[in-house]
Amino acid sequence: MPVDNYCVLYTPNMKDETVEVFRILYGGRNIKTQLDENTTF
């Protein structure tokens, strides 16, 4: 979800009707590169 110059990555929880934000990235950067370098699954 874009918010101003940022990209907010989140997962919705329909059961609890909540949202868990797990990452906020500045939109001016290469988001794919940032996720590839810093995300572990």
CB of 17 closer than 8 Å to CB of 26: no
Answer yes or no: is pLDDT of 1 > 80: no
Q: Give the structural domain span for 6.
A: 2-38
Side chain identity at 14, as an amino acid letter? Answer: M
Q: pLDDT value at position 39?
A: 67
pTM: 0.62
**Tens-place pLDDT, residues 9-32:** 899 999 999 999 988 989 888 888
Q: pLDDT value at position 41?
A: 56
CB of 19 closer than 8 Å to CB of 12: yes
Count: domains in the chain: 1
Which of 14 and 37 is assigned the larger pLDDT? Answer: 14
